[in-house]
């Protein structure tokens, strides 16, 4: 009886250890490969009563009732850790509440969310839709947001920081063509015309997302991305791309601390540093 119990206990112990191992490896697996989400939105234009064409100031009182608030027509996204892509739209009711709800769930899966000029535009539009449509507030999502535009402006001097220019500069053929009439067709066209233009807009938006991702990956070696892979990785790795192909690259001193610098051969750039000593024999 005792022998049977002992065998059973041993089996159970092995099983629980295996489960812990699986849990740990799953956890490490998830952490080792961060989920990076790229996205872009297209918004509906406003309508205004005006007296003439040309440069002028349009006051809020000139906005046409019913067309005096923004809505998101389409939102496209793609992941960096797998090949999944998505296209959401405002649906037949031309209301972006569901789109925002769905994308918020997708953001919750991500470790980092990246757009192009999203800090000033897309992120704020999403938050505005949450406020207008009575959705839960999610300012916490901003903690995991990075922005290609901010990184380009911070680290490069270019003739233009527009997506079309940077895309062409890197051989990605620039943005797809879209004109105001496409927006008008989506807003007021017959169902057939509106559907055709919406498809065109989704393709245009998806190309922007794809270019944002490619430009980010190309330029990343020169950025200081917000997401630190080293914090989320179980082994010593590059803080910028998560690769373990790193080697020591000299010593640096800042203030009273001495750092061991590392270089990453995977993304061909700085991998980060570790403090190795604190100077105590300093006269101040
Ligand atoms: Zn790296």
Tens digits of per-residue pLDDT, 99-138? Answer: 999 999 999 999 999 999 999 999 999 999 999 999 999 9
Distance 266 CA to ligand 1 centre (A): 5
The reply to whether 179 and 253 lie within a common domain is: no
Backbone angles phi, psi at 100, to 5 degrees: -65, -40
Chain centroid, CA 36 distance in Å:
6
Contact of 255 with 278, CB cutoff 8 Å? no
Distance 230 CA to ligand 1 centre (A): 10
**Residue 23 belongs to some domain of the structure:** no
Distance 223 CA to ligand 1 centre (A): 11
Distance (Å, rounded) from C-alpha 238 to C-alpha 39? 25
- CATH of residue 142's domain is 3.30.420.10
* Domain residue limits at 161: 31-50+62-222
**Residue 55 belongs to some domain of the structure:** no
Tens digits of per-residue pLDDT, 166-223? Answer: 999 999 999 999 999 999 999 999 999 999 999 999 999 999 999 999 999 999 989 9
Which tokens is 46 given?
């406003």
Does the pLDDT value for residue 29 go beyond 80? no
Distance 235 CA to ligand 1 centre (A): 14
What per-residue confidence (pLDDT) applies to 221?
A: 86
Distance 278 CA to ligand 1 centre (A): 26
**Residue 5 belongs to some domain of the structure:** no
Q: 208-233 burial by CB neighbour count: b if 16+ within 10 A, else e?
A: bbbbbbebbeebbeebebebebbebb
The reply to whether 242 and 199 lie within a common domain is: no
Distance (Å, rounded) from C-alpha 77 to C-alpha 195? 20
Distance 268 CA to ligand 1 centre (A): 7
What per-residue confidence (pLDDT) applies to 21?
A: 47
Number of domains in the chain: 2
Residue with the bigger pLDDT between 25 and 164: it is 164
**Residue 251 belongs to some domain of the structure:** yes
Spatial CB neighbours of 179, under 8 Å, sequence gap ≥ 6? none
Distance 259 CA to ligand 1 centre (A): 18
Out of 202, 222, 242, pick the residue that ends a domain.
222
**Residue 121 belongs to some domain of the structure:** yes
- Residue holding tokens 């809020």? 60
**Residue 1 belongs to some domain of the structure:** no
The reply to whether 73 and 146 lie within a common domain is: yes
pTM, to two decimals? 0.82
The reply to whether 255 and 186 lie within a common domain is: no
Distance 279 CA to ligand 1 centre (A): 29
Spatial CB neighbours of 262, under 8 Å, sequence gap ≥ 6? 238, 246, 247, 248, 249, 270, 271, 272, 273, 274
**Residue 143 belongs to some domain of the structure:** yes
Distance 262 CA to ligand 1 centre (A): 10
Out of 198, 222, 246, pick the residue that ends a domain.
222
Out of 199, 222, 245, pick the residue that ends a domain.
222
**Residue 134 belongs to some domain of the structure:** yes
The reply to whether 120 and 158 lie within a common domain is: yes
The reply to whether 156 and 264 lie within a common domain is: no
The reply to whether 115 and 244 lie within a common domain is: no
Average pLDDT over residues 270-280: 86
Ramachandran quadrant class, 239 (left: phi over 0; alpha: psi -120 to 50; beta: rest): alpha
Distance (Å, rounded) from C-alpha 208 to C-alpha 173? 11
Distance (Å, rounded) from C-alpha 132 to C-alpha 100? 11
Q: Is 26 exposed, middle or buried (0-12, 13-18, 19+ CB in 10 A)?
A: exposed
């Amino acid at each position: 009886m005792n022998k049977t119990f002992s065998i059973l206990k041993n089996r159970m112990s092995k099983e629980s250890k295996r489960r812990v191992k699986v849990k740990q490896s799953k956890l490490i697996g998830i952490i080792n490969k961060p989920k990076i989400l790229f996205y872009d939105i297209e918004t509906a234009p406003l309508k205004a009563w005006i007296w003439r064409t040309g440069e002028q100031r349009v006051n809020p009182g000139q906005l046409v009732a019913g067309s005096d608030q923004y809505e998101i027509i389409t939102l496209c996204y793609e992941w960096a850790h797998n090949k999944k892509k998505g296209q959401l739209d405002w649906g037949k009711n031309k209301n972006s509440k569901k789109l925002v709800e769905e994308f918020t769930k997708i953001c919750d899966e991500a470790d980092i969310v990246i757009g192009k000029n999203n800090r000033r535009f897309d992120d704020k539009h999403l938050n505005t839709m949450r406020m207008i449509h009575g959705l839960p507030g999610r300012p916490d999502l901003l903690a995991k947001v990075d922005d290609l535009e901010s990184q380009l402006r911070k680290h490069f001097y270019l003739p233009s920081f527009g997506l079309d220019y940077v895309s062409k500069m890197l051989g990605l053929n620039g943005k797809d063509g879209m004109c105001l009439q496409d927006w008008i067709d989506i807003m007021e066209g017959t169902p057939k015309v509106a559907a055709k233009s919406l498809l065109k807009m989704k393709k245009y938006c998806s190309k922007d997302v794809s270019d944002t991702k490619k430009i980010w990956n190309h330029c990343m070696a020169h950025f200081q991305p917000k997401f630190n892979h080293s914090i989320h990785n179980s082994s010593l790795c590059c803080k910028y791309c998560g690769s373990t192909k790193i080697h020591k690259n000299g010593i640096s001193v800042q203030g009273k601390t001495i750092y061991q610098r590392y270089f990453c051969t995977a993304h061909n750039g700085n991998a980060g540093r570790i403090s190795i000593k604190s100077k105590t024999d300093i006269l101040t």
